[in-house]
A and B are shown apart, each in its own frame.
Chain A
Amino acid sequence: MSRYSWNIFLTTAVALLMIPLAIACGGDDSDEPFRIGVMESATGPGETYGTVAIQAKQMAVEEINAAGGINGRMIELIVEDSKCSAQDAITAYNKLTDVDGVKIILGTSCSGAMLGAAPLAEKDGVVMFSGLATNPDIAEAGDYIFRTSLNDAQLGVDTGNLLWADGIRKLATISESTDYAEGVRRTTVEQFEKRGGEIVGEERYASDATDFRTSLTKLLNANPDALHVAAQSEFTGGTIVKQVRELGYDGPIYSEIVPIGTTALEIAGDAATGLKAVITDIDPANEKGQEVLGNFREKYGYVTLPWYLGSAYDDVYITAECLKETNDDQDADGLRDCLYEITWSGAIGDNYSFDERGEVVGLTNVVVEVLPLSERNEDNNGYQVLGPAPSG
């Protein structure tokens, strides 16, 4: 036992000695480039968005730097993986703020991760600026929290209206058990029921599920007019569409952005034809947006989730614009004030701005339909825009 006591004593002593020492050593650096943190889910369920977002941001930074930077200073991105999980987001956040001394964080791609780190950012006065997180709760997360992605609540209202307008009265839903997909489903159902529709079946699945036939069998047995799919990962979205067709269902399918992603359409194949989705999309008439997509394809050889790509890209430019004013990457308050005032025209839309909750205003959802297999190509991403989402 004496050896243990000695060991324990040793640790305690070392730990006590080292804490002040460590505090003394933690220095800061105000070197040449502006340092901006990036937290995206490079792995985990939100991998596709995270990867696209990181790449889009890097592309934007390279463009800015190639054009001479901001007031002559370069931008440096410090990327951390938030893995679509609150806990990992907190760790990544702490690493970014404590180790790298970052005051501006672009991210994250998952609402769960965002909600985990947001309270810390709010307390520390660090700006968190996401292009992808859609959970309605984020609106209330604080003063320093911004996003260019549309709130799920709006998406749900639009989808509910669309369903009703298309003559759907009995709806079956299946959604992934993640905050995003659940949020979409919930708001959709709420609006749909408000309009007088009836929900005849509800199923959920865990993110690592690959076999949905049981759930789908039950849903189809309830004879719905339409099926609504809300997925977090393109993979599950695509697979559900495929498997439901395999089970002999030929009615309409409605969904959101995920099941019409490139990977999802590749998995679903012809089964996805005719699938309708309410998404935010880059206006084909928006030259800036098309240019960004073109550059991205040239650089990385693929394009997926174009709107989120553009959103992540715009975030960097908006931040850069504000840094021009503040000229200090440690001045989070200045950045915040700038963001509240800014009106921006970029890849994802013209003249959008932020309201007092940090929510983006000035962007709208559209309804799209997936094309038959033979008509899909790289330029149309496999779907056509039917028009703006019906209101009311």
Chain B
Amino acid sequence: MSHLAQAIRELGDSGPLRRMPRANLERIATVLVLGWAVGFMLWQGAGFTITLTTIFAIWAILAVSLNLVVGFTGLLSVGHIGFFGIGAYTMAILASDASYDRLRTESIPTPDWPFFAALPVCIAIAGLVALGVGVVFNRFRDDIFVLVSFGFAIIAFSFFLNLRELTRGAFGIHEIPRPAFGSWVLDGEIEFLIFALICLALVVLICWLIVTSSFGRVLTAIREDEEAIAVFGYRVTHFKLAVWVLSAMMAGLAGALLASWTSFIDPNSFILLESMLLIAIVILGGLATIWGSLLGAMAFVLLEEGMRFLPFLPPEFVGQARQVVLGVLLVLLMLFRPQGLVGRYKL
């Protein structure tokens, strides 16, 4: 950061810093992604669109919550997928009604809770784990933080895979129920989509409230200069911890949604690479804007599903091709627009 200060001091000699080109890129990007989404819907029809929108809703919750940490607080966390997984596994373990006793594979206790009873627990457990992890991670910064957050993602994955008494390891957990209000079960795709969108809206609302509150302003100040803001009477560690926990809780919610939607989870959904893709979409969309994360998540989902329809691309390479595109986009953005498409903050 003092590099930046240095650069600014040097430039300060010759007048105010050059302004970043705030061209219409933001609007163009927005229209492009939205147009793409609409075109896709028209082309593909309802069923698939609903699936995609549900995936979008889940990834958007993740992206928005991660942006709180990365964009607003300046902690480049690659470990967010861990909280996502914790949420998903908590939901799976608590709510699954599969009775594994009759099967010959690894069996775990399944309390068979209803969705809405398990949901708060998912969120709480993700938050609790985040609290513990956060206390340790609070001292790390910049690239060391990146490294230890890599570590968290790997440790979390290892637990999902190897803590077989709890997670059934590689077998995964199935028969995870859909949300139900009394006897009305949201087992239709549209109903679940609406539920997921409501969750997304709630998360966006909460994030919006957070970032426009005094708390949010302090976060941005922490991002810019931790030591300086401490001098003005803020306990930086508490604020960092708080936003870390809040963000993890939202990721836990996303995980619970995923578990309930797919009705089956296994550790493969929570590998490190997914986390790297997640941070890529947050940066791609734009740091320190909620809208950017929504846009990024939308582009991400469309990218994969859109690429399935490219005639020259063998279907088995769609996932990889998307990764290539994301990687290249990331490089180009860092080169020309380090704040992301509609971002308000450069790393």
Contact = CB atoms under 8 A, between A and B. Distances in A.
The answer to whether any beta carbons of A and B sit under 8 Å apart in the complex is yes
Interface of A: 4, 7-8, 10-11, 14-15, 18-19, 21-23, 25-27, 42-43, 79-81, 83-88, 90-91, 94-95, 97-99, 112, 115-116, 119-120, 123, 135-137, 140, 153, 156, 176-179, 181-183, 186-187, 190, 204, 206
Interface of B: 30, 34, 37-38, 41-42, 44-51, 53, 55, 102-106, 158, 161-162, 169-172, 174-175, 187, 262-269, 289-291, 294, 305, 308, 314-320
Contact of A19 (B49, B55, B290): B49
Tell me what chain B mostly uses at the interface: helix, strand, loop, or mixed.
Answer: helix
Nearest to B49: A22
Contact of A97 (B47, B174, B289): B47
Contacts of B46: 19, 22-23, 25-26, 98
Nearest to B318: A81
B51 A98 contact: yes
Nearest to A87: B269
Contacts of B169: 177, 182, 204
Contacts, number: 154
Contact of A177 (B49, B161, B318): B161
Given A95-B308, A112-B268, A177-B162, A22 B41 contact: yes
B48 A86 contact: no
A187 B171 CA distance: 14
Contact of A23 (B45, B265, B266): B45
Contacts of A80: 315
B47 A99 contact: yes
A27 B268 contact: no
4 A-B pairs closest in CB distance: A26-B45, A98-B47, A42-B316, A23-B46
A136 B268 CA distance: 20
Nearest to B157: A206
B225 to A, nearest CB: 25
Contacts of A204: 162, 169
A19 to B, nearest CB: 7
A183 B171 contact: yes
A370 to B, nearest CB: 26
Nearest to A10: B34
Contacts of B289: 4
Contact of B316 (A4, A43, A120, A206): A43
A389 B265 CA distance: 34
B315 A137 contact: no
Given A86-B269, A179-B105, 7 more contacts: A14-B38, A22-B42, A43-B319, A94-B48, A99-B44, A119-B264, A181-B170
Contact of B171 (A95, A119, A182): A182
A173 B262 CA distance: 32
Contacts of B266: 85-86, 112, 116, 179
Given A19-B41, A22-B44, A116-B264, A91 B170 contact: no
